[in-house]
């Protein structure tokens, strides 16, 4: 606000008419622009006037007939009436002025020294101090409001964190119970299923000459479907152990090249049923590795069977090569249906099928690649895939040549 060009509203609180007249005359002679000057003689009148009408500044005599100036300031504070106060004192009352300044007065004037210039200077100073104090108060109020809001938000965030923690614990508990249930059910089902497979195999070996072709075919189907179901149960059991982090690797030295040759040879008949070429390419200077041969074979078998399942014509190629002295890459490439970009992002999720419809052509649990992903991670390796729709897929598994033994086992 430009004080020299704004109309000021001034209140003079003094019981001495001569002093009031001196202040009014000095105000009129000052360079200030005045809008209104009002006079009151006591504290009660001052409170009533300030409560009902806004003033830019007030001159306060430190002694009033009903109560002194300090008491008036306390009353104004109680009633939340705010105005810049300039205290009027007598000669030699500097200590009184100091007391008023400590109580909140903006400035003070000695009555005997009042002049238009000094009065204008004092009013300008009081208004600047008052405006600065108001700005500080507003900033403090804003700070308090911000702190209160932050405290409220922190409390809400803490409650959300606790809720998420509770939900996480509950999800982990449910996941553990699910894994335990799957493991128990798989184990319980394997016992009678092994009996069915064993008896059907025994029947096939002791095939009677009295059997019809249909009866022989039925026994063969019992045996084949039993083995398929056992493989599915084994998948579920392995996944439940991996999901519950209860599957331990049993590493030992073995020849990876020979294991790959054996695995590919075992899978070749499955490829030939679909007239697919299944080939193996080895680029290894040293085939010996330290890993779990059973689980490495499982990784290879799952990747090859998955490639054969989704390839209708063409070939499946398995290749092994050394990336570095301590790392080996296994790649399984096919010329099958391929994967879209959206399918690539979820291909390793459990129970995920490329075709999720009820009429899908390719059956299975959807656990094969999830198991491969978990096993590879357990071995300290990584798996990636490159694919395009109708252009085939290539899965890359990178494994350390020597994995770490479980901590419960002594180091070699």
**CATH code, residues 252-400:** 3.30.565.10
Q: For 42, phi and psi rounded to 5 degrees?
A: -145, 170
List the strands of the sheet with 85-89, edge to edge.
34-40, 8-13, 57-61, 85-89, 107-110
The DSSP bridge partners found for residue 386 are 394
Which CATH class, in words, describes the domain spanning 3-114? alpha beta
In angstroms, the CA 177 to CA 169 distance is 12
Evaluate whether the domain defined by 169-243 bears CATH number 1.10.3470. Answer: no
State which H helix or E strand residue 178 sits in. helix 116-205
In the chain, where are the structural domains located? 3-114, 169-243, 252-400
Q: At what angle do helices 293-309 and 368-378 cross, to 10 degrees?
A: 150
In angstroms, what CA-CA distances link 227 with 118, 190, 272? 109, 10, 20
Say how many C-beta atoms besides its own lie within 10 A of residue 159's C-beta: 10
pLDDT in the model for residue 55: 93
The DSSP bridge partners found for residue 39 are 12
In angstroms, what CA-CA distances link 311 with 279, 348, 386? 14, 19, 15
349: left (phi over 0), alpha (psi -120 to 50) or beta: beta
Q: For 14, phi and psi rounded to 5 degrees?
A: -160, 135
In order along its 412 residues, the chain shows pLDDT tens digits of 444 446 899 999 999 999 999 999 999 999 998 999 999 999 999 999 999 999 999 999 888 898 888 898 999 989 989 899 998 887 667 788 888 888 888 888 888 888 999 999 999 988 888 888 888 888 999 999 999 999 999 999 999 999 999 998 988 888 777 777 777 776 777 778 888 888 888 888 777 667 888 888 888 888 878 877 777 777 777 777 777 777 889 999 999 999 999 999 999 988 999 999 999 999 988 889 999 999 999 999 999 999 999 999 999 999 999 987 789 999 999 999 888 887 888 788 876 655 544 334 555 567 888 889 999 999 999 999 998 888 889 999 999 999 987 765 443 3
Number of helical H runs and strand E runs in the chain: 10, 12
pLDDT in the model for residue 358: 39
Within this chain, domains 169-243 and 252-400 share the same CATH topology: no
């Amino acid at each position: 606000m430009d004080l020299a060009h704004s109309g000021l509203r001034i209140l003079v609180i003094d019981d001495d008419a001569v002093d009031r007249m001196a202040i009014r005359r000095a105000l009129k002679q000052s360079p200030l622009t005045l809008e209104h000057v009002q006079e009151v003689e006591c504290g009660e009148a001052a409170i009533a006037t300030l409560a009902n009408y806004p003033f830019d500044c007030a001159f306060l005599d430190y002694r009033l007939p009903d109560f002194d100036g300090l008491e008036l300031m306390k009353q104004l504070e109680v009633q939340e009436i705010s105005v810049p106060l300039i205290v009027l004192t007598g000669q030699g009352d500097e200590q009184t002025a100091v007391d008023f300044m400590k109580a909140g007065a903006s400035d003070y004037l000695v009555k005997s020294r009042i002049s238009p210039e000094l009065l204008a200077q004092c009013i300008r100073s009081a208004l600047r101090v008052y405006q600065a104090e108001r700005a500080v108060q507003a900033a403090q109020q804003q700070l308090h409001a911000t702190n209160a809001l932050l405290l409220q938000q922190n409390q809400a965030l803490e409650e959300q964190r606790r809720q998420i923690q509770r939900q996480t614990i509950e999800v982990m508990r449910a996941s553990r119970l699910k894994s335990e249930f799957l493991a128990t059910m798989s184990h319980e089902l394997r016992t009678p299923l092994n009996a069915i497979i064993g008896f059907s195999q025994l029947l096939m070996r002791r095939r009677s000459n009295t059997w019809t072709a249909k009866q022989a075919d039925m026994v063969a189907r019992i045996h084949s479907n039993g083995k398929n179901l056992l493989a599915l149960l084994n998948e579920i059991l392995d996944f439940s152990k991996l999901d519950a982090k209860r599957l331990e690797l049993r590493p030992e030295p073995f020849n990876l090249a020979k294991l790959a040759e054996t695995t590919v040879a075992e899978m070749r008949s499955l490829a030939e049923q679909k007239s697919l070429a299944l080939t193996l390419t080895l680029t290894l200077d040293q085939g010996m590795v330290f890993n779990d041969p059973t689980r490495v074979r499982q990784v290879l078998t799952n990747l090859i069977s998955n490639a054969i399942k989704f390839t209708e014509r063409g070939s499946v190629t398995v290749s092994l090569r050394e990336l570095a002295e301590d790392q080996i890459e296994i790649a399984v490439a096919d010329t099958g249906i391929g994967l879209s970009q959206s399918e690539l992002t979820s291909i390793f999720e459990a129970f995920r099928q490329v075709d999720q419809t009820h009429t899908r052509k390719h059956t299975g649990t959807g656990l094969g690649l999830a198991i491969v992903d978990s096993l590879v991670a357990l071995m300290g390796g990584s798996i990636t895939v490159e694919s395009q729709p109708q252009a085939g897929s290539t899965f890359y598994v990178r494994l350390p040549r020597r994995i770490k033994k479980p901590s419960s086992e002594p180091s070699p």
